[in-house]
Structure 1
């Protein structure tokens, strides 16, 4: 009986679909009831048997063949107001769009376009969360913008732009092509936001440039370039050329940050209070605006490319940072700490640490296929006392696992480990350490009460003297197994329970601490 009911329902569904197909073929219309739409007052209303036809596509867009930069072409005619909302033309992907030029934006690098931008965004929201198009131009923003719920602020770039303005190049290389936001507001103020994204909002296709930031002097603070404040917000195809702080995501659950480049000076990306999976991919920070030491000294002493606070299940893929004090930092905020998956990440010329962990959640971090260099003597900034590839602080209580990653550059240590979490290296390559020739060990454990696991790694340094491990008797357990060494294995100190075995070096006379707690396999 139950099967008969199922089949009967299926037949009824098929019959309904066939009827609807016949209706469409004969051009008939079926009244649709209770459609939600904007009332003339601008508030959401409920229609009564109202019918709406799709707007005519009488607004023309540039084809890819006619323009390599601008995605859309718009009339500069002002918008006319009417009692009922008039829907704008459709873009090629079926979404509706307004142009900031229709609301008075000039894009001439002279007039302040802040008000025109916000008017366009507000009207886009009133009409039903539309796309706001910004044609090619240099748009001055002396105030700040809010992208309303569901709206998109769209520049001309369909891929992340890049402008190289190093001090050895002519000033004509400043960004003048495509959609450029010239940020003047908030100089000397390091809080607030230039562009704030409400939930479901997106910004994409721009260069953000700070004309008053001087390339050969100490950089000046400005507000964050973009702040993500709601669920499912997105930043794509964006160049933060010389911003103080680039992107901040707070309570932006399921955020998406992709294809971002530039030279953030103080902080590149900061994520906190995220309780559903956020994604960051294809982000590249490099000193394209300035490589002058008067400017980059700040980055090398204070700059942090990626900072993660409380974020649950963070996914990070194909990211890179060059010439910062810290490449990737994991901190504990009032909301908590981080756990996540980090694949294909890299940091070059870091003066303090490629990876710095203040604290992570107990289930912690998974870092795979990374490439890291920390430099004792950098061309880009002041000397830092103790450059280290991986610095696990005494405050850490979580798990940090690093696999199939490479570490090189003249650092003092590969890893300096504290805290009571479990720290593991698997299948990694360690090329250089002990830049100060003080016989520093590659992996140095101090005051740690957790576990250390090093397996299947290649210690490639050949210049003697070479020390590989310095352990602390506060360490609960240490496993050093299946590694290769270009010089005789040297281990100093021991954990409460240390197991060493199946390692291969170039000598049968390894140096280890002789104690009853070490087991050799």
Structure 2
């Protein structure tokens, strides 16, 4: 604790600063009975000091210490509460600390209520009765700092600086707080960090940092925050400017919505989220610019950017980077409005290829200008999408390259035999020597787009074999999409395959290549009725894109069962078994199918009706005895 002379010097310096900026009245909260040792309740004393300063407007000084607060304190118009010039990182024993007991299990009771042109600067807020980080369920409290909505007028001109919300349940609510000025706000609010709504005049907020100041990564409380917490809840506002906003370890990083009063008009520079389930979610917006920063997902299977079904307004992302999701970068599901990506970079984290960078599931207008998206533009959907001024293909547009089912257009390397012409397709010979044949995709015949490859396949023997169909650059590098199979049995029954694939990254130097071999003997593989067309979001869902991406993986099939993954129909696996039994292990989803060798009086196969390991299976296609 400081000496009396040091306290007096500090108070005088603070008083002079407060008189210069805020007003003429300077009072010391301790002189009105506030206890800096935290042994007595200081609520009444602090309110008396505020009342005295409010007579002409002025400053209430708080010497270093810990002040116990048990009920709501009202900061009156033109009064500034002033604590330390700086705040301590995580240390709630230094500087000026409010030990808050107000609002326990009462979300409607705030610890400090702000009035017009009031403010607070240089305080740490600590809740002694909040659970420790080992607990999995926090204790609810009202907001630590909020505007006083009972006044019936807009609480304009609020000022907050150097604030540490160490373990607040709800942090700051600035509803109706036009022209507010926030600077250097830190902490780990558990449920909500900053709530904004009904802001009818230009406001400023810079350097807001919500991080693991209280509950570190891996603790039970941190996990609760990751599943339930929201760092920035942004609703109706009029030309807010934000600078350097950061959130770590929340369910929602930046959440834009309409709470019943309208949506956001805002420009935010340097917005960054890390280890967050939904870094940026747009349910509603008016006009928002997100410039600079990074959005990093906590779950590699989740996108960095998602929207609701009707955002109404326009949202622009500029000069940003998106990391983490190794399947999808952004999913735009809105039926209206516009989303713009200017010079943005979709970058996978720790993998060499991202499945899809951008999914446009509905009719929202989506524009991409410049930037780098993965290893090229991998986009699903596109009826209302344009990239660098070029519209994408409408859904279901046939982009089948001419001559793809003409044998003479295929070039053979290795193995024996040659590609033969059959009705509506080609025949590929396989032997023990690896055989490959390639078809050059004509320049410009396929534009960058997420597509569907559909064809029929049939082989002639039961030899154990390996077979791959892929799209790649003409030098064999940079595989774009592949359908892979391995078998020790026949697929003599004509099998229909439909799989989502990405085409067009190397649209001017791309080939389709088919290759494989047998482990013994020779055999033929017939491929017929092949076509390629632009994917339709209504027929292939996001989940199916995540799980399939044009690959049929033998590893997805239980190794203990003799099987060959032979097809994908709208994202579902079609597996052929020699036995008449359903799978007994492995993970399966509704719609997965097993096909049996035909036996009179038995089922043709079984379908998964309840997902699981191995799930529930029901027979279909009873064959006449």
TM-score, normalised by the number of residues in structure 1: 0.70
Q: Secondary structure at the match of 2:246?
A: strand
Q: Secondary structure at the match of 2:312?
A: coil
Report the counterpart of residue 128 of structure 2 in structure 1. 211
Task: Tell me the alpha carbon deviations over residues 467-514 of structure 1, each in whole angstroms, 9 at most, x when there is no partner.
Answer: 811105xx4x3212389xxxx9852269xxxxxxxx975972299965
Following the alignment from structure 1 to structure 2, what is the Cα–Cα distance between the partners of residues 323 and 490? 35
1:183-194 equivalences under 5 Å are 183-194=100-111
Following the alignment from structure 1 to structure 2, what is the Cα–Cα distance between the partners of residues 215 and 223? 19
- Structure with more strand by fraction: 2
Report the counterpart of residue 166 of structure 1 in structure 2. none
Q: 1:235 to 1:445 in 2, by over 3 A?
A: same
Contact in 2 for aligned 1:413/1:434 (Cα 8 Å): no
Q: Is 1:181 matched with 2:98?
A: yes
Task: Tell me the alpha carbon deviations over residues 223-282 of structure 1, each in whole angstroms, 9 at most, x when there is no partner.
Answer: 101113411111111000010111111111111111010111111100000111111110
Q: Secondary structure at the match of 2:10?
A: coil
Q: 1:425 to 1:137 in 2, by over 3 A?
A: same
1:19-418 equivalences under 5 Å are 72-73=10-11, 90-91=16-17, 93-94=19-20, 95-96=23-24, 97-126=26-55, 128-156=56-84, 158-163=85-90, 174-213=91-130, 214-217=132-135, 218-229=137-148, 230-291=155-216, 292-351=218-277, 353-361=278-286, 364-376=287-299, 387-410=302-325, 412-418=327-333
Q: 1:120 to 1:510 in 2, by over 3 A?
A: farther
Q: Secondary structure at the match of 1:159?
A: coil
Aligned length: 396
Following the alignment from structure 2 to structure 1, what is the Cα–Cα distance between the partners of residues 41 and 245? 34
Contact in 2 for aligned 1:305/1:324 (Cα 8 Å): yes
Bigger Cα Rg: 2
Task: Tell me the alpha carbon deviations over residues 26-83 of structure 1, each in whole angstroms, 9 at most, x when there is no partner.
Answer: xxxxxxxxxxxxxxxxxxxxxxxxxxxxxxxxxxx99xxx97x9982379xxxxxxxx
Q: 1:89 to 1:457 in 2, by over 3 A?
A: closer
Report the counterpart of residue 427 of structure 1 in structure 2. 343
Q: 1:506 to 1:300 in 2, by over 3 A?
A: farther
Following the alignment from structure 1 to structure 2, what is the Cα–Cα distance between the partners of residues 453 and 119? 57
Q: Secondary structure at the match of 1:345?
A: strand
Q: 1:370 to 1:119 in 2, by over 3 A?
A: same
Following the alignment from structure 1 to structure 2, what is the Cα–Cα distance between the partners of residues 179 and 70? 16
Q: Is 1:457 matched with 2:371?
A: yes
Contact in 2 for aligned 1:74/1:99 (Cα 8 Å): no
Contact in 2 for aligned 1:236/1:259 (Cα 8 Å): yes
Cα shift at 1:116: 0.4
Report the counterpart of residue 55 of structure 1 in structure 2. none
Following the alignment from structure 1 to structure 2, what is the Cα–Cα distance between the partners of residues 272 and 410? 31
* Structure 2 residue ranges without an equivalent (≥5): 149-154, 391-445, 453-503, 513-530, 537-625
Report the counterpart of residue 378 of structure 2 in structure 1. 468
Report the counterpart of residue 481 of structure 1 in structure 2. 388
Q: 1:479 to 1:185 in 2, by over 3 A?
A: same
Q: 1:233 to 1:139 in 2, by over 3 A?
A: same
Superposed CA RMSD in Å reads: 3.2
Following the alignment from structure 1 to structure 2, what is the Cα–Cα distance between the partners of residues 192 and 467? 50
Following the alignment from structure 1 to structure 2, what is the Cα–Cα distance between the partners of residues 151 and 333? 30
Contact in 2 for aligned 1:376/1:411 (Cα 8 Å): no
Contact in 2 for aligned 1:457/1:482 (Cα 8 Å): no
Task: Tell me the alpha carbon deviations over residues 114-169 of structure 1, each in whole angstroms, 9 at most, x when there is no partner.
Answer: 0000010011112x01100011010010111110000001111x234321xxxxxx
Following the alignment from structure 1 to structure 2, what is the Cα–Cα distance between the partners of residues 295 and 373? 21
Q: Secondary structure at the match of 1:111?
A: coil
Report the counterpart of residue 398 of structure 2 in structure 1. none
Contact in 1 for aligned 2:210/2:247 (Cα 8 Å): yes
Following the alignment from structure 1 to structure 2, what is the Cα–Cα distance between the partners of residues 305 and 284? 9
TM-score, normalised by the number of residues in structure 2: 0.59
Q: 1:89 to 1:417 in 2, by over 3 A?
A: closer
Following the alignment from structure 1 to structure 2, what is the Cα–Cα distance between the partners of residues 391 and 146? 39
Contact in 2 for aligned 1:138/1:176 (Cα 8 Å): yes
Following the alignment from structure 2 to structure 1, what is the Cα–Cα distance between the partners of residues 125 and 314? 37
Q: 1:204 to 1:245 in 2, by over 3 A?
A: same
Cα shift at 1:210: 0.7
Following the alignment from structure 2 to structure 1, what is the Cα–Cα distance between the partners of residues 381 and 119? 49
